[in-house]
């Protein structure tokens, strides 16, 4: 009987440590040169992860609009009176700035959250296999819109909340929502050529709806620029327009959008359109009705801040659903799944599995 070394048995029982990856200098240089390609070479996200990343960017694009509206409606537009710092001497808000400074600076901080959400969408899209260049470009488009709007937001502060710059700030945010919506939709589609689900006449009707919706949003910014909510308690210039007249024009455009949506719903049912366009159009019609109720109530109750904020949120949701209606008119199937290889079986085995006939 041979004895065993106790140290050898202890060594055998000892759990082995996980291997530490060896990061070479070449790896570090590659990560610095092209970090996205470096991550993509080592990570393949699940398709659901890519969809969730695109949805997170879309949600944050709406959040930044709503919180920006809260800044204006609470009179905190100049809570931080300069940019990029909050004050001449401080990067952040100070106690002297009070609640208005906290609200304005908080909205600025949310821009970093938006950048993080858009960055996650870019990384997820870039790392998806197979690589989809169009999806990555949509993510980068969002990034540059965010950067441009951040600079424009600083200009808004530096020019004392000039109503024309405020309107441009909101319209650029609407462009961000549009690109984010398209990216979210594209994450659930393939890259094949789009196949229309409806005829040319229906497509043209939807494009009229999109154009009317753009005019409606633009008119809404003019109503804001001429209305009483200037964004700060100090004397802020307003657009030299009759607010009542602009509001009535906005209401007329709203009724045009509602009418076009109802007509589209009727036409889609008449031509027995697929389920997706019908469902999106029905949802848009209900959103428009709710938005109209809020709009009329706020008009006849002297524009209470809560209802104005709800109306602003509703305009974002309406714009998303208008684009969803447009995107539902076609389908882009993904690549056909490759059939899995089935090993050949012996005839006798096949017969035994099939059983007697």
150: left (phi over 0), alpha (psi -120 to 50) or beta: alpha
DSSP secondary structure of 143-164: HHHHHHHHHHHHHHHHTTS-HH
- Whether 179 and 232 share a structural domain: no
Q: How high is the pLDDT of residue 78?
A: 87
> Is there a single domain that holds both residue 263 and residue 292?
yes
pLDDT recorded at residue 124: 95
pLDDT of residue 247: 92
CA distance 75 to 189: 43
65 and 116 in a single domain? The answer is: yes
What pLDDT shows up at residue 31?
64
Q: Are residues 113 and 167 located together in one domain of the fold?
A: yes
How high is the pLDDT of residue 119?
96
Q: Are residue 265 and residue 247 in the same domain, yes or no? A: yes
Looking at the structure, do residues 322 and 237 belong to the same domain, yes or no?
A: yes
pLDDT at 96: 83
* Residue 16, pLDDT score: 46
CATH number of the domain enclosing 296: 1.20.120
- How many whole angstroms separate alpha carbon 355 and alpha carbon 357? 6
Hey, how many other C-beta atoms are within 10 angstroms of the C-beta on 265?
Answer: 19
Q: Which of 130, 162, 191 is the last residue of a domain?
A: 191
pLDDT number for residue 357: 36
Residues 184 and 269 in one domain: no
The answer to whether position 357 is within a domain reads no
28 lies in some domain: no
* pLDDT score, position 40: 85
Q: Please tell me the pTM assigned to this model.
A: 0.84
Would residue 89 count as lying in a domain?
yes
Same domain, 201 and 144: no
Residues 98 and 161 grouped into a single domain: yes
Q: Is residue 7 part of a domain?
A: no
Mean pLDDT for back-to-back runs of 10 residues, the chain (357 residues) = 51 47 59 78 91 97 94 88 89 87 92 96 94 94 96 92 92 97 94 91 96 96 86 81 91 96 95 93 96 92 90 96 96 59 41 38
Number of domains in the chain: 2
Domain residues for 216?
194-331
Instruction: Please give the pLDDT value at position 37.
Output: 84
Q: Are residues 98 and 204 in the same domain?
A: no
């Amino acid at each position: 009987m041979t004895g065993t070394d106790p140290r050898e048995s202890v060594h055998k029982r000892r759990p082995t440590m996980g291997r530490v990856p060896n990061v070479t200098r070449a790896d570090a240089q590659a990560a610095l040169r092209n970090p996205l390609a470096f991550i993509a070479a080592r990570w393949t996200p699940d398709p659901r992860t890519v969809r969730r990343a695109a949805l997170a960017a879309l949600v944050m694009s709406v959040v930044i609009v709503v919180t920006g509206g809260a800044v204006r409606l609470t009179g905190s537009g100049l809570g931080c009176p300069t940019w990029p710092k909050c004050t001449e001497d401080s990067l952040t808000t100070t106690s002297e700035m009070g609640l208005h400074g906290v609200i304005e600076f908080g909205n600025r901080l949310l821009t970093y959250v938006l950048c993080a959400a858009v960055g996650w969408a870019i990384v997820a899209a870039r790392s998806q296999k197979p690589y989809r260049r169009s999806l990555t470009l949509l993510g980068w488009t969002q990034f540059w819109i965010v950067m441009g709007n951040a600079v424009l937001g600083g200009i808004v502060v530096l020019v004392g909340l000039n109503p024309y710059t405020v309107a441009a700030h909101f319209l650029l945010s609407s462009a961000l929502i549009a690109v984010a919506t398209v990216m979210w939709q594209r994450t659930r589609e393939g890259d094949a050529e789009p196949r229309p689900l409806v005829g040319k006449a229906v497509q043209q009707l939807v494009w009229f709806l999109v154009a009317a919706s753009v005019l409606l949003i633009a008119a809404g910014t003019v109503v804001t620029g001429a209305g009483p909510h200037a964004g700060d308690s100090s004397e802020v210039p307003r657009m030299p327009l009759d607010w009542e007249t602009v509001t009535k024009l906005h209401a007329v455009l709203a009724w045009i959008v509602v009418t076009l949506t109802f007509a589209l719903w009727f036409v889609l049912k008449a031509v027995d359109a697929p389920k997706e366009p019908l469902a999106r159009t029905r949802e848009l019609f209900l959103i428009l009705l709710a938005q109209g109720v809020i709009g009329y109530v706020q008009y006849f109750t002297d524009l209470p801040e809560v209802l104005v904020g709800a109306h602003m949120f509703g305009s974002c949701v309406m714009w998303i659903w208008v684009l969803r209606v447009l995107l539902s008119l076609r389908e882009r199937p993904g690549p056909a799944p490759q059939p899995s290889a089935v090993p050949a079986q012996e005839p006798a085995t096949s017969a035994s599995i099939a059983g007697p006939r």
